[in-house]
Homo-oligomer: A and B are copies of this chain.
């Protein structure tokens, strides 16, 4: 998008859309996927910005916050029909648009007075989603010139408190691992036990004994073995599995068993 088209879009947004929206309240989306043995998060590259940002947006006065989260994610990334889950609301009194972003917007020739709405303090509601990397094809739009899937364990510099948002989302995944089908949402359709093990190590943020993990998962009945992999040049590849979705759903009872 060229500068002139962007100026028109931003000016229209400030002139006509902001008056229909709740002021000082935004939404940020942390979109996770699993690829090349790493847990990734979807980040956008703002026009003329060095730091990356999460897909974000605002809430219309007549809109449910959950609906607003889905709409904003679609508008910013093209992603649709994604399972979004609210995880935390962030409200430090210093949550203002960073100076550099304010400058970039004003440098478009936007009336500073009209941009005031955007430059107030914002409280933001965080949502996370789990998407299948292979089936996901993000299409960034307004404000972004590109996107990147970045490793959660090695994030580049992010604007505002977006790094803390990713970390809090990850802490939530850790708690939700007993009740959400995290493996099903993040792993490819056919996967190996080492991949599943790796995903669990990243989310639980600790080493997990490989043999115990394999044994427990094979005993759980949530895995369906596929055809054996053939040996290649004498190396035996790990077997492939897919999830028994009904059994997986049953195992996520939403209740903590705790041995009684």
Contact = CB atoms under 8 A, between A and B. Distances in A.
Interface in A167-202: 174-175, 177-179
A234 interface: no
B204 A255 contact: yes
A5 interface: no
Interface string A62-74: 1111101000000
A16 interface: no
Interface residues of A, number: 40
Contact of A93 (B25, B61, B208, B259): B61
Nearest to A176: B175
| Copies of this chain in the oligomer | 2
Nearest to A63: B93
Contact of A86 (B88, B121, B179, B259): B88
Given A89-B86, A256-B177, A123 B213 contact: no
A89 B213 contact: no
B64 A121 contact: no
Nearest to A210: B260
A150 B93 CA distance: 34
A92 interface: yes
B24 A178 contact: no
Contacts of A256: 174-175, 177-178, 204
Contacts of A179: 175
